[in-house]
Structure 1
Amino acid sequence: MVATGEHLYDLPEDCISSIICLTSPRDALKLSLVSSIFRSVAELDCVWDAFLPSDWQHIATKSVTPLKFSSKRDLFFCLCNSILIDDGNKSFALDKLTGKKSYVMSAKELSILYGDEPTHWNWKAIPESRFSKVAELKVICKLVVKAKLRTSMLSANTNYGIYFIMKISDRAFGLSSVPVETSVEIGNRKDVHTATLDHRNGEKDLPDEKQRYERVPYKREDGWMEIELGELFNGGDEDEDEEFTVSLKEVKGFHVKGGLVIEGIEVRPKH
């Protein structure tokens, strides 16, 4: 408590910085608008170092392009803009509001049934993708896509949503009648839902509650569509490490289909 007659601005700089470190990136930016004193403290490296993940140096070494920054604040916002890592097969980003980690695994990082068969899948570059190649379905009877990740990649004490990023080509066929099972499995826990790839339900710019419940694709800001595969609460410390599996697959019957374009699977914090 500040004594009577004293002002919060009269606190030592290290006290103010310690207080800001206990907030969030969003709060730090708001406080920087209060006064010149708060602005100068809110730009200190020690403040933004508290908002960066503890393994940021390891992440930076995996970046395809060397990171350029003059301060920890610059570095934070550089990572918020998304960087390509692991030879360009993943992208990494920090949430601007919270500093929590998020990843997108490219189609190359996924296990796709018959993905290496040219008669079934076409791997190609398209300008709207952040990755060098996407997977376009030519024709197949059974669709199965899986990915394995580890909780050590994610921020602790954070609820994550996991999303399948896709497009439907003009030549698509058979996808509107395909019910698929989506799941997130970790240990003996499995979160299972039913979804549809019917792209006609994805014309809305934002998902409403009905879309969320039915698990149908909807448009993203980047022009792709996404389906929520499930949720995962990562409650452990960042030093703990468990493998979890996410999947999208047909479980009933066989339907000839084609025209699905897969960019990848995203794991991001839910607000």
Structure 2
Amino acid sequence: MGAAGSSILGADGEWGETSLGDMPESCVAAVLLYLDPPEICQVARLNRAFRGAASADCVWAAKLPANYRYLAALAAAADDEGRGDGDANGKRFSLAATKKEIYARLCQSTLFDAGGKEFWILKNKGGLCISISSKAMTITGIDDRRHWSHLATDESRFHSVAYLQQIWWLEVDGELEFCFPAGAYSLFFHLHLGRPYRRMGRRLCGTEHVHGWDVTPTQFQLTTSDEQQATSEYYLHLHEQGGWKLYHVGDFVVSNSDEPINLKFSMMQIDCTHTKGGLIQEAVAPHYHRSGSGWISS
């Protein structure tokens, strides 16, 4: 592609060759605005003009959410608290970094609220994801080992999940206050029926304790501080031979990126005529809906 050229008539009357490398960086940058971040990184290999334009702040500013300074401040604070001496290359993240460096850092997960929650932006299509650990939620009977236990696992972003052995009354409540980038979001509970384990390198799922979820539907709810509400209910079933499943609670919309939203969510199954068990609560995740070619401006 970089070798392709066209003939032009020079000042001395002789024909010459021009190529993509002769394009001004400003023109290249205007084209790169229409590409997704991975595509920008790929075309940066073409030549010097594309490489320079692919690092321009004006290109990456368009890929960042409107409140990226708020997100970058959380990331910088997390890095200072967690690593102190910088990353693997000895370089510490700073709010004075280039827009490309800020984007790259925000694509990595950032823990906040004492490590019980994390956020990151998606590399491919933009958008914000947040994951909230079960340890950051209030769960009925979680401190009673007869009902619940904490399992260490590499299947969770937080390396730990809450496993329900047996209970009559189930209620899980959580809360999040965050300056979401403007846009539309969906909230999901990430659940698993059956206790996963490994035998001879194979992932298996013990389902002997799974019971009670087909009697009464489990109810999910979310409310926001600006009075948005959503409810849903599902009969929980084994999914793909004991795999994880995202249960959609509902949607909410953020119009102001600089205004913190308080989000409350819950999962309930309070039919006390039967016991239920065998459920793993891993996390709750609000996911951003991308609009058009980038972020929605606030």
- SS of 2:257's equivalent in the other structure is coil
In structure 2, the residue matched to 1:162 is 187
How far apart are the structure 1 equivalents of 2:101 and 2:209? 43
Code of the aligned partner of 1:54: R
Question: Larger Cα Rg: Structure 1 or Structure 2?
Answer: 2
Relative to structure 1, the CA distance from residue 196 to residue 32 in structure 2 (aligned partners, 3 Å threshold; closer, same or farther) is farther
Question: Runs of 5+ in structure 1 lacking a partner?
Answer: 205-217
In structure 1, the residue matched to 2:220 is 182
1:145 aligns with 2:172: yes
How far apart are the structure 1 equivalents of 2:114 and 2:228? 32
1:47 aligns with 2:47: no
Give yes or no for contact 2:130–2:285 (8 Å, CA) kept in 1.
yes
1:249 to 251, 264, 268: 268
Question: Runs of 5+ in structure 2 lacking a partner?
Answer: 1-7, 9-18, 92-97, 196-205, 291-298
2:236 to 197, 201, 207: 197
How far apart are the structure 2 equivalents of 1:246 and 1:132? 22
Offset from partner CA, 1:81-104 (integer Å, 9 cap, x none): 434444432222111234322110
Give yes or no for contact 1:24–1:98 (8 Å, CA) kept in 2.
yes
1:126 aligns with 2:153: yes
How far apart are the structure 1 equivalents of 2:71 and 2:223? 27
- Give the share of equivalent positions with the same residue, in percent: 25
2:251 to 231, 242, 264: 231
How far apart are the structure 2 equivalents of 1:251 and 1:58? 41
Alpha-carbon shift at residue 65 of structure 1 (Å): 4.6
Is the deviation greater in 94-103 or in 39-48? 39-48
1:172 aligns with 2:184: no
1:113 aligns with 2:146: no
Give the length in aligned residue pairs: 245
Offset from partner CA, 1:106-125 (integer Å, 9 cap, x none): 01111212222222211232
How big is the alpha-carbon RMSD for the aligned residues of Structure 1 and Structure 2? 3.3
- SS of 2:49's equivalent in the other structure is helix
Greater helix proportion: 1
Offset from partner CA, 1:220-250 (integer Å, 9 cap, x none): xxxx33211221222x222112312111112
Relative to structure 1, the CA distance from residue 31 to residue 132 in structure 2 (aligned partners, 3 Å threshold; closer, same or farther) is closer
